[in-house]
Amino acid sequence: MAFAGLDEDMDLAEDFLASIVARVLERRAAELRTLERDVTLLERVRAPFPRVTYAEAIERLQQQGVSVAWGDDLGAEAETALSQTFERPVMVHRYPLAAKAFYMKPDPADPRLALCVDVLAPEGHGEIIGGGQREDDLAALEARIAEHALPREAFAWYLDLRRFGSVPHAGFGMGIERCVAWLCGLHHVRETIPFPRLLERLAP
């Protein structure tokens, strides 16, 4: 989204998820019954979603006895533990910049942090959306690429997007299969894929 920052990004992700859940409840009630999904849990999914900073999330996890320290990226176990404490999706924002991709924009209020967000589904399903504000300054991007020891030539096209003019912008991506697993109450994301590529099978 052009001319959007982290707050607008989180607002859109929240509205997007709330809309998906409402539509599924409205149009796919029969399928949810077949799957024996407890729809009362989905009916609670309404905006606004709880929003916690990464630092607050670390504090909550430590109180739960999860072994995690500030600076760690949240793994599946930590995400599951955190999401189980909420009835609606929870938005964790402002992770350490060092734990995120080079193109994340630093928080002007605290350059140690990235203007990013992960949306964790409730019931222990973990991350279903990841996004944030992107760095729109060419010099800053070039410096981050050098810091990460990435091959500059591989990102020439990306740098050109900034070299010839850019605006503040943000966005997010949703893991479709992860979201379906949560909506349907499935135990594993493999169950949401018609022809999963497994160790013993590379083709359908």
Rounded Cα distance between 135 and 167, Å, is 9
**Mean per-residue pLDDT, 39-44:** 94
Q: Which CATH architecture has domain 6-192?
A: 2-Layer Sandwich (3.30)
Percent of the chain whose predicted confidence (pLDDT) is above 70: 99
Q: Is the separation of the CB atoms in 144 and 154 below 8 Å?
A: no
Mean pLDDT of the chain: 93
Interstrand relation of 116-121 and 110-114 (parallel, antiparallel or unpaired): unpaired
Domain ranges of the chain: 6-192
Residue 175's pLDDT band, with cuts at 50, 70 and 90, is: very high
What pLDDT sits at residue 204?
62
Q: Mapped to the 3 state alphabet, what secondary structure does 87-126 carry? A: CCCEEEECCEHHHCCCCECEECCEEEEECEEEEEECCCCE
Q: pTM (2 decimals)?
A: 0.91
> Is 21 a residue whose pLDDT tops 90?
yes
Q: Is the separation of the CB atoms in 119 and 93 below 8 Å?
A: no
Q: Tens digit of pLDDT for each residue in 148-160? A: 999 999 999 999 9
**Mean per-residue pLDDT, 163-173:** 92
